[in-house]
Amino acid sequence: MYFFFYYEPLIALIGHLESNQSYEAVRQALRQVNRTYKDDLEESCTMVQSNEFHGLLKCGSNLMNLMGSIEEAAYPHKIYWGIGIGKSKKNTNPAASWEAQSRAFQNAQAAADFLVRQNEKKASFSADYRIVCDGDHEEVTQLLNTVLILLTSMKRRWTKHQYAVVADYRKHGGGQTKAAARLGIAQSSVQKSLAGADYYAYQEVMDTLNAVFSQIGEGVRGI
């Protein structure tokens, strides 16, 4: 799976909240991810409206983990993720917004707009994520978007209990016995929830996507 850029690509994020009820929880989560992933960020993740936030990454190795952390804060409400890959001029004017000079942001906006429209109608498929990328990358982008549709379908089938177990297991690891102790449930319940959620298939998909995005930020090269 390859991209090729003749410049340093950046990843712009637009998160569109399904419900304003998750605003405060998401705002707090953004503060945390800005600290946790500060070395990956070109521009911090910031609320710009009551139902939308923006961010810009110079390194994609933790993209899926970053989005997952914010999704956990918003749960059970959805976030629609517009992911734009492309150029973005360095913002040297504090009074100006980085978005105005960013092709990556324009791509993210196109992706986010598509998702909002797609989820507002009875479409043939629904998704929580979409990528729009500069350059001649249509086949790769289409493949990644298909994977993200399948990832969305998998996660939307989870029960609230399965979601809680998966979120804990991803955050802390350490095995099922320790997860059971943290959650105050039986180890067999953890095992059943992970199996019902297809957790290990989900984790494989997440690791693969992180590996693909990780090569953004390693210079002008193929990925």
Classify residue 132: in a domain, yes or no.
Answer: yes
When pLDDT is averaged across residues 153-180 and rounded to a whole number, the result is 94
Does residue 220 fall inside a structural domain?
Answer: no
Task: State the total domains in the chain.
Answer: 1
pLDDT in tens, 105-132: 999 999 999 998 888 877 677 899 999 9
In a domain, 211, yes or no: no
Domain assignment present for 195: no
Q: What percent of the chain has pLDDT over 70?
A: 89
Domain span including residue 52? 10-154
Determine, yes or no, domain membership for 191: no
User: Given pLDDT bands bounded at 50, 70 and 90, which one contains residue 221?
Assistant: very low
In a domain, 22, yes or no: yes
75 inside domain: yes
Inside any domain, residue 162: no
Peptide bond into 9 cis (omega under 30): no
CATH, residue 150: 3.30.70.270
